[in-house]
Each structure stands twice: as C-alpha cells, then as structure tokens.
Structure 1
Amino acid sequence: MEWRGDGDDAMRLLMDELDQADNMSVSREGEGCRITVKSDSGTGSMLFYEVMPGVILTYNDFHMAECYSGFSRSSDYLSVNHCREGRLEQLMPGGTYSYTSAGDLKLDDISHHAGNYVFPVEHYHGISIGFDVAACSDGVREALGNQAPDVSELRRRFCRGGSPYVLHDFTEAEEVFAGLYHVRPAIRRPFARLRALELLLLLSQLEYDESCHAVEYFTCAQVQKVKEARRIMVADLMSIHTVGELAACVGMPTTAFKACFKGVFGLPPYAYLRSYRMERAAALLRSGKLSVAAIGAQVGYDSPSKFTAAFKAVMGLTPTSYRRGQ
C-alpha cells in the first residue's frame, strides 16, 4: 500500500520502512493507518497517527503469542512506550531477554526493534509515541518556544548503549497516557499533539538514573525452561505441581526458577496458574455451553463451591453473575 497522507511525511516514511510480510495488511482508518497482523496464535493491530511533523502516535493491541516486526529506523529516533496491560518479551543484544509489564514506561531508540516479539501472557495493550529527532525538532521549538526540550539531547540522555530505559512509577506520565486511551477519534490528533509535547516537557525534568537501565534480563536457556514449566502447568489443570517439582522437571534451582518465572510471566507460578484457570473459566462462561460445575471441573476444581470462591476472588463476580453480565 502506498501511503498518501496530507503532508504526513513521517507516516509515509513509516510505511516505506515497514517490512510487510504475507500475514500483514495495511489500511487507512480515518486520519490514521492501521496495520493488522495475523498468525496461527491470534491477531494484532497497530493504529498510527502522525500528530505533528515527525511525531507518531501508535495504539498497540495484540491478542497473540508472538509476531515478527521488520521495522527499523535509520534516523535518530526516540520511542516512548506505555504498557497498559499484558507483557512484552524482547530479545536483546547478547542473547538475553527483557520484559515490559503493565504500568511500565520504556524509552529506547528502537535500534534493536526489528525481530520477533513474544507476548508471554498472549495479550498486550499499550501506546507508543515516537519522535523522529530531525523531523520533529522545528515543530517542538515552534510550539514551546524557549521552554522547548532538545529532543536529540533527551535521546542521548536516556538511550545509552542500545538498552531500554524503564520507568516503573512515573505518575505524571501515566496521566499523559491515560487521556489518550479514552479520547474521542474526532479530536485524537490535536489532543495527542498536546500530550506529546507535555510528555517531552516531563522527560526534560528527569535526571538520568542508571538503575533504570538495570532491567532484569534472562538468558535464552532460562526463558525456554520456564516456558516449558508453564506448558506442563496448563497442559492438565487437574494436576497440581509444587514449585520445587516444576523447577526440578526443567533442571533449574528453585530460587532461580521462581525469579525467572515471575520475570517472564509477571506472576509467581501459583498466582499465574490461578489467573490462567480463571481466564479460561471466563472464556467458557462466555460461550454459555457448559454448566458452572462442569467449567469448574475443566479448570481443575472438583468442588463447585471452591471454584465459585476462587473465581470471585480473581474476577470480582461469581461465575453465575459473570455469565449473566455477558
């Protein structure tokens, strides 16, 4: 698809640089552009808007286990990514893996963007705001005058050595992104323009903190082992395995296994299994084909009352109330 925007130079470059695979489709959607990706594991989409010259807003929504991205940038770039739900696994230089989880704000220069992306809990929702340094700098200075941050300096400050810079509790930035999730499409571009400028101002006030580069990394061997343990856990929901048994089964020390499992999936093994059971139960309740007792049995509960209590503790409703609300 050839992008023909109304002066949207950065959007046109984005489309030119995307490596469109056979499982990818591109379509115009109002003032934006949507890329849809399909695979055997599910679907995902990215909705792009150029909100001002050189600044691109992206809504990321994935319900799949993994996807490939061929996107890379040859120019200087600053990408600010907010994760609202789910988890994102990224292979880093040196063969280690890093993870982005709900509430994280990740800054990087996307120099290592191209490659395979894995969603360990099979969904990911978030927003990215990308700044092409050369293309956006004049517009930022025009909008903010003497208070305009130097985008190139921000990139140098936070994007060091190609590793991501992750902020876990940046409340002001959370508020910036919160509005973008709910803004009406009719005013999305001008609203996002203001939020992008606000984000730059907030970042300009942050001092560099080396600990924000100290993202927890795991080796390929460790990640593959805990993924095998997860496969064992969910293959038969009636079977209960202790953490020690799972660790021994995949050949890891228990302490290292627990740390790596939580790093990959965001929860300790037992908490993850309970969450998985309840998500599976919720899907079965929405289908409306089985009784509550039968669903409880399918997700590993031999007692309907225990299943009801566990479901309510996680989902906030009893199974019957949840089904009625669908």
Structure 2
Amino acid sequence: MTTIADIAKLAGVAKSTVSRYLNDGSVSEGTKKKIERVINETGYTPNAFAQSLKAKNTNIIGTIVPRLDSYATSRTLIGIDEQLKELNYQMLISNSNQHLETEIENIYTLAKQKVAGIILLAAEITEMHLEAFAKIDVPVLLVGQQHEHIYSVIHDDYHAAYEMGKYILDKGHKKIAYLGVTEKDIAVGVKRKQGFKESMKSTSDCEVKYYETSFNITEALEKVPEIIDSFQPSILVCATDNIALGAMKAASIKGLNIPKDLSITGFGGYEITGMIHPGLTTAKFFYQEAGQLAARSIVKLVRQEELELLNVSSFQLIFRESVDSIV
C-alpha cells in the first residue's frame, strides 16, 4: 500500500509538504504538479478519516450509544449512517455500555477529536450532561430523550401509550397491570406511563396497578410471576417489547395461555415480535427513520441552518394475537 512517505520520496519533497497538499495547505504550483503526477501514477488514495481528523473542520459526526446489543440502537444507527453518507459525512460510534460516567467522558473525548457534531442516544439527561454540552464547542442533538434547551429527536411515547390504553379498554379489559421502568428515563419511564394513565381516565370501571422493572428481559421474567399471583390481571401492558417478551416467557412457564388467560402488549415494534407465536401486539416506533431524521438535523446544526428545537418521529399500533377481546 502506497503511503505519504512513498509519495514524498517519489516526488522528491518532504512528507510535510505532501501532507499540506492533501489538506489544501500552501504548496507552490510546481510542487503541486509533481505530487499530483506521483499520486496519479501510484493510484494513491488518502485516508479520508485520518485526513478529516487533521483538518480544522471535519466531516465526522460522533454518535454516542448507551449499548450496542439493542434492536432500537442498531436500527437507529443504520438510519444515521445511511443519511450521513448521502450528506458526505462519516459516523464515529462511541459506546458507553450504560455507564453514566463513561457517557460523559465520551462527550468530552469526541469534542477533543474535533468531530463536527455529536448525536447522543440518551437514556437520561443529567446536570453533568448539561455541563458537558455547555463546555464543548460542538453542536449536540439528543435522540430518544427531550430537553427544553437541547435540540432533540424523540419518539411519540406519550401518544403511543395513550392509543394503546384506548385500544385495550375497547377490548373490554378491566383489570390492568402496567409494567414500566425507572422514571430517570423520561421517554420510556415517564412519557409512556403518563400517556397510558391519561387514557385510563376515560373510565372509572376498571382497576389499574403500576409496577416497575428494568429493561432487562431476565428481570421482567422474574417480576411478572409476582404480578400474576398477587393481582391476577387480564392484561399486562409492558413499557418495552423486551419486557413483554420476558412476560410472555413467564406466563408460559406458569402454564398460562396467551391471550385467553393473560393478554400482553409491548412498545417498540421489534421484528422478533411478529415472528413469535402468538404475535405480540405492540406500538411500532420507526427507529431507522428517526436515525435518518437525526442525521439530517445534526448536519443542519453543523451548517448553522434553521432547525426546530424538537422533532417527533411517528408510531403505529400493530395488532396481533397476544390481546384477547373480553367485551
């Protein structure tokens, strides 16, 4: 593989001169022609990533994710990457592995690497996040969470949960369990619960109990039997598809029939929810499209173009076999 050192030797110039040429620095016309001739003869192609890092203005967008083993994260990243490539930008992924301190450190690290902008797939926004955003001179866009002072792309968690609540009431369910997550997560832990609670206000003829677990399937698998034994709901509304999958496994272990003995719903619209039997009724979020929207938005911020503070991605209720009608 031809290197800058090879080009410099063949052109009879210093490596620093070749580097200046590649980064549009000051080089005499005669030297330019010599370097261009050698590059054409050798077919040399500069490393665009490294070249971008050396430039004052890069075309790299840093993308921080809380975890890589997530359907929502992977589909969002696909959308971001596809759209950035079309806009002649590159994506640099940084994984925080669900550690808050690592996530904050990643923000500063990406800024030091002179990325043009940062997309943060956030689980929560803390004072440490806001302090980091204020200190770095880099545009930041949130995906999945909303803050009144930070540009954001969110899923319509509130209305998705509201519509799900209306749907199960229409199906005649009156003994309802809602299994959510920590309210540190505003989108999933707060907004979805708020939307669901609002839909429940349309009737006084039902009993609703609220429970909490983590995003982990195994923890949901352990939590659900307690709910079934103590409350015996006709339906279990789960804040994510992963929680719903754990709930379905728990119900199966207890010998319950889904949906006749227990109906179950989720949120997310993961592909696996349509492959299992019975298929899971869920609110589908369009993660890949949200990623594309996020990519277009961060590029607008980088280019100092006008952008709405908040952009909301759509959803669709997917009706499958996991919900029984008891009207």
Same fold (TM over 0.5): no
**Larger proportion of strand:** 1
Structure with the greater alpha carbon radius of gyration: 2
Q: Provide TM-score, normalisation by structure 1.
A: 0.25
- TM-score by length of structure 2 reads 0.25
Structure with higher RCO (Cα < 8 A, 6+ apart): 2
